[in-house]
A and B are shown apart, each in its own frame.
Chain A
Amino acid sequence: EPEVTQTPSHQVTQMGQEVILRCVPISNHLYFYWYRQILGQKVEFLVSFYNNEISEKSEIFDDQFSVERPDGSNFTLKIRSTKLEDSAMYFCASSLAGGDSDTQYFGPGTRLTVL
């Protein structure tokens, strides 16, 4: 069964550094998403991406965040200058065509620790 994969599984960085989290969505999916879960809190939507542009973003997704699909398989989340409060589990998801009833399938997550 096809799965969403994410690398690395755990990333440790210093405050102020840039990080790039990588995801490989399910191959025939067209919509891509990032969510995050701060320890002990809810899973929160960050951004959705379709046809090489952002289709929706939350208030959390400010100027320090960016997303990119650099090639036909990868989908990345970049955090330009990390803050302590960016420490969280980041989940990538994809859905087939973005139709109303589409299911989002999630990857295993990247745990980001900012020191």
Chain B
Amino acid sequence: AQSVAQPEDQVNVAEGNPLTVKCTYSVSGNPYLFWYVQYPNRGLQFLLKYITGDNLVKGSYGFEAEFNKSQTSFHLKKPSALVSDSALYFCAVRDGGTGRRALTFGSGTRLQVQP
């Protein structure tokens, strides 16, 4: 079975400060990891993914995430937060190499960036 934990329901950060949204996962095989963002009344927008290779993955809108196998984590980061980054962020995992395509999502973290 695969699972994702996002331990923080909400993260508050001041504009211009770095932000981190945490995610830990559990899979039996190779983890394929994804971050999605949801703005109000919008669908889930893909931000970035880790499949293999460099542990630091760069994505859309200046976001990046670091894959840490020993800690089974895939935290989302941005060096300088913008007010427009305020949204709901979801981490998701697939068990790579199994042929199964179902994504398992975390419960989401609401990011609030204050001006």
Listed in ascending order, the chain A residues whose CB lies under 8 Å from chain B are: 4, 6, 31, 33, 35, 41-45, 48, 55-56, 58, 91, 93, 95, 98, 100-109
Contact = CB atoms under 8 A, between A and B. Distances in A.
A33 B43 contact: no
- Chain A CB count within 10 A is highest, among B36, B100, B102, for B102
Interface of B: 32, 34, 36, 41-46, 49, 51, 90, 92, 96-97, 100-108
B96 A108 contact: no
B101 A95 contact: yes
Interface centre among A56, A95, A106 (most CB of B within 10 A): A106
Contacts of A103: 34, 46, 49
Given A35-B103, A91-B43, A108-B43, 11 more contacts: A33-B101, A42-B105, A42-B108, A43-B105, A48-B102, A55-B101, A56-B101, A98-B101, A103-B46, A106-B45, A109-B43
B43 A4 contact: yes
A100 B97 contact: yes
Contacts of A105: 46
Nearest to A9: B41
17 contacts: A6-B43, A31-B101, A33-B101, A42-B105, A42-B107, A45-B103, A55-B101, A56-B100, A56-B101, A58-B102, A98-B101, A100-B51, A104-B34, A105-B46, A106-B43, A107-B43, A109-B43
B59 to A, nearest CB: 11
A95 B51 CA distance: 15
A43 B90 contact: yes
A111 B44 CA distance: 14
A87 B100 CA distance: 27
A93 B44 CA distance: 9
